[in-house]
Amino acid sequence: MSRLFVPSPRGPVHLDEVGEETRFEPWSATTGFRPVASVGGVPLMDIVERFGTPAYVVDEADVRGRCRAWRTALPDADILYAAKAFLCRAMATWIRQEGLGLDVCSGGELAIARSVGFPAERIVFHGNAKTPHELAEAVEHGVGRIVVDNLAEIPRLAMLVQPGRRQKVLLRIIPDVEAGAHAAIRTGGQDQKFGLSLDSGEAGAAVARVLRQPELRLVGLHCHIGSQIRTTEPYERAVRIMAEQLAAIRDTYGIVLPQLDLGGGMGIAYLAAEQGLTPDAYATAVTKALQERCAALDLPVPRLTVEPGRSISGPAGLTLYRVIAVKRTLTRTFVAVDGGMSDNPRPSLYGARYTARLIGRRSARIDRRVTLVGHHCEAGDVIAEDVPLPSDIKPGDVIVVPATGAYHHSMASTYNLTGRPPVVAVADGAARLVVRREEIDDLLRRDVGL
């Protein structure tokens, strides 16, 4: 049965011939496979021929649609895109144009933002161990808020503020609520490197110290409980705890902090059987929990800040690979491609799972479960386990992997001295290079020799 693709701000939706809606996760909003595989109106094989493989592709319309969905779901909140998920000049420009703020956590991310004229007041600077140079750059640039993560940062930051100015700060609190798909990305518990502990008294000490610094202005609290969270319940628990801390500060110091930043971590679908946490679902649950807890505490509802990263860029990306070899053992079939853990470290780091699809030709053969692997010298260089691909898959074929727009380019490496892939943006039937491929000459240029 043929399908007509219709992009939707709620996520990718397809309409069949009788108008029945079906979700099309984990593919981006403009992805289609008939008559040919395409994204943003651009045939994927045209991208392969023009830019080679491996290559990241980013669906600009999908990014913009997800930005608007978050703004629509939370019209009275500050929506900050978490730059660590994926940032380049093009991405920063789209985020700026869509009216979102930017959450950065390094001098490099701040530099990208500055290079495209991102408004400083819409930038929040994070980090558990910001260097003195990074703090100085953030203050000098006039970023809107700096998130204080440790006690040592308070006097260091205060010394950098010029006379007559006050730097707005948030305190990152550990709510002791952990959530996320893997232990390595659960960040809201007591045994993490992030944040100020309530149990140890460090958080309370930080409040007192910031309030004693005339160069600093405490405007609110911040927390981040984890990543790849696909249910609202952990956020509801966190927001209640954070509201209680705002009330405790009011009762102790007689001040009402106007802001509450709940961080990000909203999950997406990586497989067809999964479903991401939508902006509407998040907004409904979190605002209800916040309003109810504030009412019970007789506390004014603070202005909410949220930091979606993966949920904006993740579904908008896909990666193109060329098959290099097919190897059949007694128990498994390995399909090896020209990329791997250097462009997608998530399976080896977190046990992340992906799907894949053959493009560029049609196959009438039945699917066989295979292990999609990379070309690196590591047994753990696996892109996707147990993936259905046609049984006649062969060297030279092209494979596309969806949902690779977050924590792929940003975490890519040059392992085995393999250059990082390019980033190609697609929109309105046109493809353009936004980050060029890293060539061998780039790698040699950094090696100064003896």
Cis previous bond, 35, omega within 30: yes
Smallest CA-to-CA distance from 32 within 8, 7, 11 is with 7
**What tokens appear for 106 in the block?**
């390094």
Angle at 144 between CA 141 and CA 145, to 5 degrees: 110
**Rounded Cα gap, residues 175 and 385, in angstroms:** 35
Smallest CA-to-CA distance from 276 within 252, 301, 300, 311 is with 311
φ, ψ for residue 311 (rounded to 5)? -70, -10
**Rounded Cα gap, residues 243 and 289, in angstroms:** 10
- The full DSSP string for 155-197 is HHHHHHSPTT--EEEEEEEE-S---SSSGGGB-SSTTSSSSEE
φ, ψ for residue 412 (rounded to 5)? -65, 155
Residue tagged active-site, from 67, 88, 294, 377: 377
φ, ψ for residue 177 (rounded to 5)? -125, 115
Q: Is 44 helix (H, G, I), strand (E, B) or coil?
A: helix
Smallest CA-to-CA distance from 12 within 281, 432, 431, 403 is with 403
Q: Taking the CB of residue 304, how many other CB atoms lie within 10 A of it?
A: 20
Q: DSSP state, 219?
A: E
Q: Is 62 helix (H, G, I), strand (E, B) or coil?
A: helix
**What tokens appear for 184 in the block?**
């390595």
Q: Distance between alpha carbon 207 and the CA centroid of its chain, in Å? A: 29
Angle at 10 between CA 227 and CA 65, to 5 degrees: 85
Token match 């780039």: residue? 442
**What tokens appear for 105 in the block?**
């956590």
CB burial of 306-334 (b: ≥16 within 10 Å; e: otherwise) equals: bbbbbbbbbbbbbbbbbbbebeeeeeebe
**What tokens appear for 261 in the block?**
């930043």
**What tokens appear for 30 in the block?**
């403009």
Does 377 qualify as catalytic in the annotation? Answer: yes
Please list the active-site residues.
377
